[in-house]
Chains A and B, each alone.
Chain A
């Protein structure tokens, strides 16, 4: 093999490596965007999952409005809606709301709720202590339930944000991806505690 052919082969291999790397780069963009969106809160997908112990002990801050939204995904035979469309909370105050769900199908259906917070840059400030979105939810045929969300707004909320929107999209879970906890367990713990707090305002 002559020197020039060697050089050509070297170029070919190098360029081929560039092409293959860019193919890998396309796939790498998926986790890269995840990281970028987690850090910046863009896309409202930062999910701040915290515990009751970490919640501030008293409400200290200004009033903020939280709006609640729901969307039923394609192929999901449930009614799914918030029980109240908005709530005034103080920054730092632990609050709770409930979402109503009813399975209209003839068999048990498992759903997964995916939350989203708008505006996206405020998403890291909304901390959920408990949420039905943490786990898959299973409802038997015709069963209905109210599912709680407990949360607080951190005082790192940007000063120009007066309203936050929390939206859940509910999607069906296929049999192969089941990891569900029966909703009764989750609901039972809170029925006693919050029966008094329960409100029935429709969106």
Chain B
């Protein structure tokens, strides 16, 4: 706003200028930074909650927290990580990179962009302040099942519902912005099939968002009216059914988890070709596979409900449909590996995170395939086996992809190279820590340890102690990551415009750091 040298800036206190700049900006780069910063803050908060319950689970018995507070931590951890860490991080990356990658000066709807971001701090303030309300924070798991949430939930549940409404609005408006941008602002010559894959995966994710988030808005509104306005959507005594909560929630919930990974697939598809010095293998099949995954994601929600007493035909259908998703996913993994085949490879930090993503997301995918087999899911359902699965696809999946993207693009954003040694220490410590944390959960889950419990039977002790130790180590790596990012932003070896020897894409044609305004005239793409 006050950027041009020609205008005479009004005499303002620097703090006022700072606040006005960051609250009123419509610039995609600044809004991207805002999203990424908020996401990292919430990631640390969600992680702190995990430290609390991992401390409690390190030994059998109740040592540190009351059972109800433990349940609040588990619930908020899920909500904060899903809605506050993973989703805003990907939106931040989208904001920074999509205009740069398609040669556009900004997003199509810059003021809507600002609004979409600034909803979030309010939403999370509401959600987190529930901890201090009478009755405590929501304590029924991030999946909000009725009737635990409707009939038995604490008063703060209503604040959770409003918070979810706000986050949903933010996501939907952001998704509309992204689709309109991608459809309308691509540089001349950039056809859809010439777009970088990160842009493709975000285009598809944005469609998932506008179709799935409103369903979540609907189901939490039904929760609200059941709680206070005399409806009985989920109350058998009024003719309703708790089971329909699960159906409607998971109709949203399954596309949601693909929303949380598809941009990560796009990031891997950007980074691996750069460090293998070879073009991405099978670009069209990558696009079609992503579309297939997105379409299939809408018709498999029942696999979260195998143990609810669904009829056999229904269980079979959902089992087969869910297994089908493994095929396009396998195509993508194959293509990443094929990209590296006969490539000329180096292993800088972004590549390490991207490769860690491919290997360990696949492990998570394999446990997912096990969960998809309906008859055996009766053993795995609601055990720590599920916790292992989700954390393998989310941590080495979504989070590693985000960290890979940060290491990859940070030099472009701030003009300085990060410290490669520190980056490698971060990566390897994180790999050890996350495997120490989440791999044992496969074993205790298969052995029957339920999830969402404050205390467990004695035989599960060993694995839980390992897992808690790993969790604390993982928490420490976040501090290291924070240090690395701050250190890099403040100074370091200057980055070139190209940054990475073999990186391709319009974002590498602008200076490092990227000026506030780029591509004011669209480039010609051949």
Residues in chain A within 8 A of chain B (CB atoms): 4, 7-8, 11-12, 15-16, 18-27, 29-30, 33, 40, 42-43, 73-74, 112, 114, 120-121, 169, 171-172
User: Which one of B235-243, B267-275, B325-333, B353-361 is at the interface?
Assistant: B235-243
Contact of B243 among A4, A43, A112 (CB under 8 A): A43
Question: In chain B, residues 212-239, which have Cβ atoms closer than 8 Å to a Cβ of chain A?
Answer: 212-219, 222, 233, 236-239
Point out the residues of chain A lying under 8 angstroms from B210, CB to CB. Answer: 15, 18-19, 22
Query: Nearest residue in A to B177 (C-beta to C-beta)?
Result: A12
A-B contact count (CB 8 A): 86
Q: Does B189 sit within 8 A of A, measured CB to CB?
A: no
- Map CB proximity to A onto B195-217 as digits: 1 under 8 Å, 0 otherwise: 00000000000000011111111
Are A7's CB and B184's CB within 8 A?
yes
Question: What's the dominant secondary structure at chain B's contact region?
Answer: helix
Assembled-state Cα–Cα distance A20/B172 (Å): 10
Extra contacts, 12 of them, besides A15-B210, A26-B222, A120-B311 (Cβ < 8 A), are A11-B180, A12-B109, A15-B179, A15-B180, A22-B210, A22-B212, A23-B217, A26-B216, A26-B219, A26-B248, A27-B222, A30-B244
Assembled-state Cα–Cα distance A114/B241 (Å): 12
Point out the residues of chain B lying under 8 angstroms from A22, CB to CB. Answer: 210-215, 218
Assembled-state Cα–Cα distance A169/B247 (Å): 22
Assembled-state Cα–Cα distance A26/B221 (Å): 10
Query: Nearest residue in B to A25 (C-beta to C-beta)?
Result: B215
Are B176's CB and A15's CB within 8 A?
yes
Assembled-state Cα–Cα distance A26/B218 (Å): 6
Are B311's CB and A121's CB within 8 A?
yes
Give B515 Cβ to nearest chain A Cβ, in Å: 24
Point out the residues of chain A lying under 8 angstroms from B217, CB to CB. Answer: 23, 26
Are B213's CB and A19's CB within 8 A?
yes
Given the known inter-chain contacts A15-B176, A19-B214, please indicate yes or no for A29 contacting B237, CB distance below 8 A: no
Assembled-state Cα–Cα distance A8/B176 (Å): 10
Q: Does B408 sit within 8 A of A, measured CB to CB?
A: no
Point out the residues of chain B lying under 8 angstroms from A8, CB to CB. Answer: 108-109, 180, 184
Q: List 14 A-B contacts (CB under 8 A).
A: A8-B184, A12-B176, A15-B180, A16-B176, A23-B217, A26-B217, A27-B218, A33-B244, A40-B311, A43-B241, A73-B237, A74-B237, A112-B237, A114-B237
Are B236's CB and A114's CB within 8 A?
yes
Given the known inter-chain contacts A25-B215, A26-B218, A120-B311, please indicate yes or no for A19 contacting B248, CB distance below 8 A: no
Point out the residues of chain B lying under 8 angstroms from A4, CB to CB. Answer: 184
Assembled-state Cα–Cα distance A43/B248 (Å): 16
| Residue of B176, B179, B216, B237 contacting most chain A CB atoms (<10 Å) | B237
Are B237's CB and A11's CB within 8 A?
no
Q: Does B64 sit within 8 A of A, measured CB to CB?
A: no
Query: Nearest residue in B to A73 (C-beta to C-beta)?
Result: B237
Given the known inter-chain contacts A22-B214, A26-B217, please indicate yes or no for A171 contacting B236, CB distance below 8 A: yes
